[in-house]
Amino acid sequence: MIHNLSLGPSIINQYIAEIRDKEIQKDSWRFRNNLERIGQIIAHEISKELEYTSIPVTTPLGIADAKVLSQRLIIGTILRAGLPLHLGLLHVFDKAESAFVSAYRRHHKDHSFDIAIEYVSCPSLQNKTLILCDPMLATGSSMTLTYKALLHKGMPKHTHIVCAIASKQSIDYLKKNMPDTNYTLWCGVIDDELTSTAYIVPGLGDAGDLAFGEKL
């Protein structure tokens, strides 16, 4: 299942417009804040598909029947660009556990690159719901390799993949290469193209650099 939230009337469209805007991007705090808000909106949409249980809640005037989340969640993030999106998701799912994976593009002299994963910190995933986020889903290879690395921590009950912007190529790549088809993809928007260096067009540039400063 693929959800493209830009297709409906939603404030997420304004936040996406702002993270794309090359003038607004000069304010790194605003860029991070907009990614957090995108994470919160997508978290709200994901919450509609989760499982709940009824409990009695004692108020000053009586007993209320309330529905509370019954699924155990883990929010997984690809460092470093995924941190603001992770925080937005965590604001909504405040009882969730967290997982962190260091994945980056390792460039070669012929201008090609592969994905290097150096660090994984994750609780047990067995039979839990995994929400795996990265702001840009360009080729799809980082997300697929990250998911495979996390499977060493157990098999999730279901996985929700979250991004602000995805390319059509990345979606095709996930369909062909994800080791498990039991996932739902949530995108703020889906763009048509990739450059020769695998950046999304029109995209927004390098989300990690825009959020935290250019890296050497």
The single-letter DSSP state of residue 25 is G
pLDDT score of 215: 79
pLDDT score of 16: 97
Whether the Cβ atoms of residue 100 and residue 76 lie closer than 8 Å to each other: yes
pLDDT score of 7: 95
Which CATH number do you get for residue 186?
3.40.50.2020
Whether the Cβ atoms of residue 174 and residue 140 lie closer than 8 Å to each other: yes
Q: How far is CA 154 from CA 33, 102, 140, 144, 147, in A?
A: 32, 19, 22, 16, 11
The single-letter DSSP state of residue 117 is E
Report the helix count and the strand count for the chain, using DSSP H and E.
6, 12
Question: Which residues lie below 8 Å from residue 40, measured CB to CB, with a gap of 6+?
Answer: 88, 89, 91, 92
pLDDT along the chain (216 residues), means of 10: 95 97 96 98 97 97 96 94 96 97 70 74 95 95 91 95 96 92 95 88 94 86
What residues make up the domain containing 149? 2-212
pLDDT score of 123: 95
CA–CA separation, 74 vs 61, rounded Å? 35
Whether the Cβ atoms of residue 65 and residue 179 lie closer than 8 Å to each other: no
CA–CA separation, 184 vs 129, rounded Å? 11
Q: How far is CA 68 from CA 63, 95, 97, in A?
A: 15, 12, 17
Q: How many domains does the chain have?
A: 1
pLDDT score of 181: 83
Q: What is the reported pTM?
A: 0.91
CA–CA separation, 71 vs 125, rounded Å? 12
